[in-house]
C-alpha cells in the first residue's frame, strides 16, 4: 500500500455566494479571524503528513501563490522593527508544505478541477481538501481517512450526519455498517437529493482520499447537475463497481466543522474561533455577551 503524501486543494471556483468580495479576491483568501481560510486547510494537510500540496487555481491566483511564498520585503521590515512575533506568523505559511499550482482554465466543476491534478499526482492515492470546509484541528479527520485507505485500499470519503432538511445541500451516501463505529462501506452516492429521496442522513463533506482510478472515471463523466463535472458522479461509479478502483469507505466525522463557503456559517466560524483564541477570546467574549444581552 502507498503511504499518502499528496494533497490536492481545488480553489478555482467562482465563489459567487460571496460577491462582490470575491470579484478580485479568491474566496479562499477571505480571513477567518486573522488567517485566510486556505491556510487552515494547508495546515490540516501538513498536520496529517501530507507535505506535497497541489492547489488548483483559476483567475486571481496570485494572492494564493503569494500567501504561501516568502515576502522578503515584509520580513526585513519586521526584522528591522524587532517584531519577532509577527515575523514568525508571516513566515509560517511559507514553511508549511511544498506548494505546487496548476490552473483549471475554465471552472467546469469540482470533478474537472480534480482531473487537472492527474499529471502531478500520477498513479498513487491522494487526498482532496476543499477550502470551504474548515475542520477543527482538535478533531483530526484526515489522518483517520488515510489510515483507512492504507488498510482497505480504494477510496475514502468524509461523511457527517445532517438534519433531513439540510441533506439537499450536500452529496448523500447510501451505506452499509462495518464493525467500526466511525467507518461505513459506501454503496452509492447522490448529489443534493430531496429529503424524501435521500438514501441516508450522511452528507459528504469536503475531505476525500482517492484511488487514482478516479481520473479515468472523471474523464468519462459527463457534465451533471448545473452543467458541471461532478466529483460525486465519479465517486458513485467507483462505489457501484469495485473493480474500477477498489471499495469506497466513509469515515463518519462527529467533530467540529465550519462551512465557510456560506455567508452565515462563515460569520459563525469567525465568532466561534475568535471566542476560543487565547489572545482575542477573553475581550471578545465579554463584548459578545453584552451585545447579545443588549442588542439582540
- Binding footprint of ligand UTP on the chain (CB under 6 A): 10-17, 56, 104, 107-110, 112-113, 130-132, 261
β-pairing, 155-161 vs 202-210, is antiparallel
Q: Which three cell numbers stand for residue 62?
A: 496570485
Q: Which three cell numbers stand for residue 287?
A: 463584548
For ligand UTP, the closer of residues 209 and 274 by Cβ is 209
For ligand UTP, the closer of residues 93 and 104 by Cβ is 104
How many other C-beta atoms can be found within 10 angstroms of the C-beta atom of residue 197?
Answer: 10
For ligand UTP, the closer of residues 78 and 261 by Cβ is 261
CB of 234 to ligand UTP, least distance (A): 14
DSSP strands (E only) in 39-95: 52-57
For ligand UTP, the closer of residues 22 and 149 by Cβ is 22
CB of 239 to ligand UTP, least distance (A): 20
Residue 169 — φ and ψ, nearest 5°?
-90, -10
241 vs 244: CA distance, rounded Å: 6
CA torsion through residues 121, 254, 30, 190, sign: positive
Task: Considering only CA atoms, give the Rg of the chain.
Answer: 20
For ligand UTP, the closer of residues 107 and 281 by Cβ is 107
Block residue for cell numbers 474537472: 112
Q: Which residue is nearest to ligand UTP (CB)?
A: 13
CB of 26 to ligand UTP, least distance (A): 8
Alpha helix positions (H), 34-71: 37-47, 62-67
CB of 104 to ligand UTP, least distance (A): 5
CA torsion through residues 41, 103, 220, 192, sign: positive
239 vs 188: CA distance, rounded Å: 6
CB of 184 to ligand UTP, least distance (A): 23
For ligand UTP, the closer of residues 130 and 175 by Cβ is 130
CB of 121 to ligand UTP, least distance (A): 15
Q: Are 184 and 249 in contact (CB under 8 A)?
A: yes
CB of 11 to ligand UTP, least distance (A): 5
CB of 61 to ligand UTP, least distance (A): 11
Omega cis (within 30) before 20: yes
For ligand UTP, the closer of residues 11 and 239 by Cβ is 11
105 vs 99: CA distance, rounded Å: 19
For ligand UTP, the closer of residues 146 and 232 by Cβ is 232
Amino acid at each position: 500500500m502507498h503511504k499518502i503524501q499528496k494533497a490536492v486543494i481545488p480553489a478555482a471556483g467562482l465563489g459567487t455566494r460571496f460577491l462582490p468580495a470575491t470579484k478580485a479576491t479568491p474566496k479562499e483568501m477571505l480571513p477567518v479571524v486573522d488567517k485566510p481560510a486556505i491556510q487552515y486547510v494547508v495546515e490540516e494537510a501538513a498536520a496529517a503528513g501530507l507535505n506535497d500540496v497541489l492547489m488548483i487555481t483559476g483567475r486571481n491566483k496570485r494572492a494564493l501563490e503569494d500567501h504561501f511564498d516568502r515576502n522578503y520585503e515584509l520580513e526585513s521590515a519586521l526584522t528591522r522593527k524587532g517584531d519577532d512575533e509577527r515575523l514568525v506568523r508571516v513566515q509560517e505559511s511559507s514553511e508549511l508544505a511544498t506548494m505546487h499550482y496548476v490552473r483549471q482554465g475554465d471552472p467546469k466543476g469540482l470533478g474537472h478541477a480534480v482531473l487537472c491534478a492527474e499529471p502531478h499526482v500520477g498513479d498513487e492515492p491522494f487526498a482532496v481538501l476543499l477550502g470551504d470546509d474548515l475542520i477543527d484541528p482538535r478533531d483530526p479527520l484526515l489522518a483517520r481517512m488515510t489510515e483507512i485507505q492504507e488498510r482497505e485500499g480504494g477510496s475514502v470519503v468524509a461523511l457527517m450526519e445532517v438534519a433531513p432538511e439540510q441533506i439537499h445541500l450536500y452529496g448523500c451516501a447510501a451505506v452499509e455498517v462495518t464493525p467500526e463505529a466511525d467507518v461505513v462501506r459506501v454503496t452509492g452516492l447522490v448529489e443534493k437529493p430531496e429529503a424524501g429521496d435521500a438514501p441516508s442522513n450522511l452528507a459528504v463533506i469536503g475531505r476525500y482520499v482517492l484511488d487514482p482510478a478516479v481520473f479515468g472515471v472523471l474523464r468519462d463523466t459527463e457534465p451533471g447537475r448545473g452543467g458541471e463535472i461532478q466529483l460525486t458522479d465519479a465517486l458513485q461509479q467507483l462505489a457501484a463497481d469495485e473493480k474500477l478502483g477498489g471499495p469506497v469507505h466513509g469515515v463518519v466525522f462527529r467533530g467540529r466543522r465550519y462551512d465557510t463557503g456560506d455567508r452565515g456559517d462563515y460569520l459563525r466560524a469567525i465568532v466561534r474561533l475568535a471566542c476560543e483564541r487565547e489572545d482575542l477570546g477573553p475581550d471578545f467574549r465579554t463584548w459578545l455577551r453584552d451585545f447579545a444581552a443588549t442588542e439582540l
